[in-house]
Amino acid sequence: MSDDVATLLGGLAALAGATGATTLGIAVARRPRPYLPAAHAIAGGEVADPLPTVLRNGLAGLTVPVRPGPHGELYVGPGAPKPGRTLRRLVLGPLFARAQARGGRLCRDQRAPFRLVVEFAGPNRDAGALLRAYRMLDQQLRDHAPLLSRCVDGDLEAGAVTVTVTGIVDVRELLAEQTHRYAFADGSFDDIGSVTAPPTLVPMVSEQWTRRFGWDGCEPIPAEERHLLHALVRSAHEDGRGVRISGLPTGSRRARQAIWTELSEAGVDVIADADYVALARHLRKHPVRRVIPVAPAVRRPSPSPRRPDVTQSV
């Protein structure tokens, strides 16, 4: 009888130990990842709700395609607008609610703004409709003004979230007319040194990799392309702008890792990829090395409950 009791107690102890180990494993799996300022996710049309995965893996940015829909709302994803799939419901609401609940930061170790790129896409390229859509976005952003990077009378102030607009031809003119705004225009390396597209309007240049480079990561990068990459990044930084590279070749994981490594070593500020979970894993092991610091273009606000103290540039 005593042997049976001992066996039973031993089994219960083993079960408790296994349960504890499982619980610990779940806790470790749910532990928030370190914030990765260089990691940027590109939301694919097949992903119903990308934001939770992006935040859980510590990525510091998201490009999301939107299109105007009924009643002036902006809808996420390809195809006809689907009920409930609005930018406000899937992205803006959860993003700002998280920052508000955490005292103005998306996570405890956030030191750079989360970069939300709103990409106007789709067959409807009517300029008037797109400009009206931007005005809707502008109004939705103003509802969360204390958490946003902004430009006020030519001065930049960094917030928990920086919003960039792309896909609207005339958006620069519209943004430039606003003396107090909460969004910025997307740019390219052609904007470096431009008087009409200063860093206060275009703080980050962004290009598809294949526009200037042919290397696909399968072989060592040609010396000419490496030199060009480093020169472009250095020029952008000296002009007070960050650099975001997207549109990377969709080869093997090994080839993409080779490209990510080259971009990191060149000092590219933001690497954007649809395979963003693997990208985050790679950047945790191989962080971006900044070669030339971006010129101090941000007037940093003093810490307060309504204005987050996120210290890096927009």
Question: Going by C-beta distance under 8 Å and a sequence separation of 6 or more, which residues neighbour residue 235?
Answer: 189, 192
Q: Which whole-number Å values give the CA distances from 28 to 7, 33, 282, 300, 309, in the listed order?
A: 31, 10, 19, 35, 29
Looking at residue 294, what is its pLDDT? Answer: 41
* pLDDT 10s digits, 165-210: 998 877 888 899 999 999 999 999 999 999 999 999 999 999 999 9
Handedness of CA 245, 247, 249, 253 (dihedral sign): positive
Looking at residue 314, what is its pLDDT? Answer: 80
Q: Above 80 in pLDDT, residue 15?
A: no
Q: Above 70 in pLDDT, residue 46?
A: no
Question: What are the extents of the domains in the chain?
Answer: 32-186, 192-269+277-294
Residue 32: which pLDDT band, with cuts at 50, 70 and 90? low
* Mean pLDDT to the nearest integer, 35-44: 92
Half-sphere exposure of 310 (CA within 13 A, CB side): 35
Looking at residue 9, what is its pLDDT? Answer: 38
Helix (H) or strand (E) holding 77: none
Half-sphere exposure of 73 (CA within 13 A, CB side): 17
* pLDDT 10s digits, 285-300: 888 866 444 433 333 3
Nearest residue to 165 via CA among 146, 148, 182: 182
Q: Above 80 in pLDDT, residue 275?
A: yes
Q: Above 80 in pLDDT, residue 242?
A: yes
* Mean pLDDT to the nearest integer, 22-43: 68
* Mean pLDDT to the nearest integer, 130-145: 90
Task: Kindly give the pairing relationship between strand 184-185 and strand 204-208.
Answer: unpaired
Tokens of 6: 């001992």
Looking at residue 290, what is its pLDDT? Answer: 62
State how far the Cα of 230 lies from the Cα of 228, in Å rounded to an integer: 6
* pLDDT 10s digits, 90-101: 999 999 999 999
290 against 154, higher pLDDT:
154
State how far the Cα of 109 lies from the Cα of 125, in Å rounded to an integer: 40
